[in-house]
Amino acid sequence: MISFRSEAKFDKAAIVLLDEQGLKDKRFTFSNKQLKEQTVALLQSGQFTAENGEIFPLVLNKKTVLLVGIGKKEATSLAALRVTVRRAFLSSYLKKAREIELVPHEQAESTIKAIIEAFVIGTYSWKKYLPKGKDDKAGSAVNVAIVSPKKSSYNDALKICEGVNLTRNLINENADTAVSAYIEGVVRNLIKGKKRVSLAVLNRKELKAKGLNLHLAVNKGSNNEPKLMIVKYNGASLKDAYTAVVGKGITFDTGGVNLKPTGSIETMRADMSGTAAVVGILKNTLALNLKKNILFVFGIAENVIGSQAYKPGDVFRSYSGKTVEIGNTDAEGRLVLADAISYVARNYKPKKIIDIATLTGACVIALGYDYSGLVASDDDFARQLIRSSNETDDRAWRLPSYAELEDYIKSPIADLKNVGLPKGAGGTITAAEFLRQFTEGIPWAHLDIAGTAFVDNGAGRMYYSYGATGAGVRLLTHYLKNS
């Protein structure tokens, strides 16, 4: 829990002081004379220089005081600040502290928001299946009082972080728990009792009746129900057009008959990260009461092997009417998204479509783990999304889309095939081109979060712990709020 106070009171069990490097001792203007004298003496001794990431503990009247260096202001990014503040919160010095006062080095709004994210996003960890340790206190929580005037934008930042962490909970959950029915339950609970919100659910029977055969093909090997869910949110005038946000929700991906090898299959519960992100964005939209009309679209299936599983070489007719040859059953997410995109385009006619998906390993090769790939049909649309990514540190990098890509996904026996060039060349942009074929000419953007959605090493990455990151939630919440 986070609260705000206009001045430091030094009344908590632990105090965290953020300090810039290279400033004079007069930087400490707070009223606690004893603490001021000790910190100044420490700086003068050279034992603490406020270098970025440096942490030095003091004990004052049985209180823990943590001096945290953030380096020189001109050389410190907000991302680095989040990493440093997270390290302080997770340090062994604060392990038993349940009440913490944090004194920031400045009052800039962007700085306070970064500190909020460092705490709420940075200290998150998935502990549902861990036994409680002897130091854990049942039902306890850490309360942080930030020395800064309270602003509505800070409350908004807290709400957005809660949406991010809901997304992470969904992704981190066991694949046999977070199946389509489970996700539907989460969505129904979010919108329960909300005005101007409606839900449409297409299960196997409805998907078959309406001809969403690509979606059904992916799910053929599974006993779990496939679902296309659409939440219609009316935050603006009914005359205003909708923006559709479509999430890939493969609750587990074995690769199908093209089975993934050991080393690639273990974290495939995270292949529903796109749908989970849309759940988080829905939560944020409701919490912020956005004055926009938005469609939240969840394309959910499970791609597993079995006697009924679809096979390479099969051809299916999509909802749009285009036929698709299956070149690889592990290129399944684009099939579910293709039917979802064309269904929404034809039946709801949104002004813009954004899809978000853990779509291609090629995106990881191209951009690594810190940037999502962005492909867009419109330059202004792309610039707006990149601006939101920069504002939120939910990073994205635009990749090209061009006419010749269409040639690479043509099939000799169908209209299209679900794989592009040999050996995975241009895998991210050819997968995006496949999706573009189903957008009905509506301005469209695609976020490939294959690299950014999940951290699979125990050391964590940036200010994320092991597991899901909630990639795309902050970016698209900001875009929807400000577009």
Tell me the C-alpha distance between 446 and 41, whole Å. 54
In sequence order, the β-bridge partners of residue 5 are 147
Residues known to be catalytic? 260, 334
CB atoms within 10 A of CB 468: 27
Q: Shortest CA distance to 343 belongs to which of 435, 441, 438?
A: 438
Which conformational region is residue 261 in: left (phi greater than 0), alpha (psi within -120 to 50 degrees), or beta?
A: beta
Neighbouring residues of 394: CB distance < 8 A, sequence distance ≥ 6 = 372, 388, 471, 472, 473, 474, 475, 478
Extract the tokens encoding 96: 């038993």
How many angstroms separate the CA atoms of 101 and 339, rounded?
51
CA distance 304 to 251: 10
| Helix-helix angle 473-482:273-288, to 10 degrees | 40
Q: Structure tokens of 409?
A: 């996904």
Burial pattern 231-266, b for ≥16 Cβ within 10 A else e, equals bbbebeeeeeebbbbbbbbbbbbbbbbbeeeeeeee
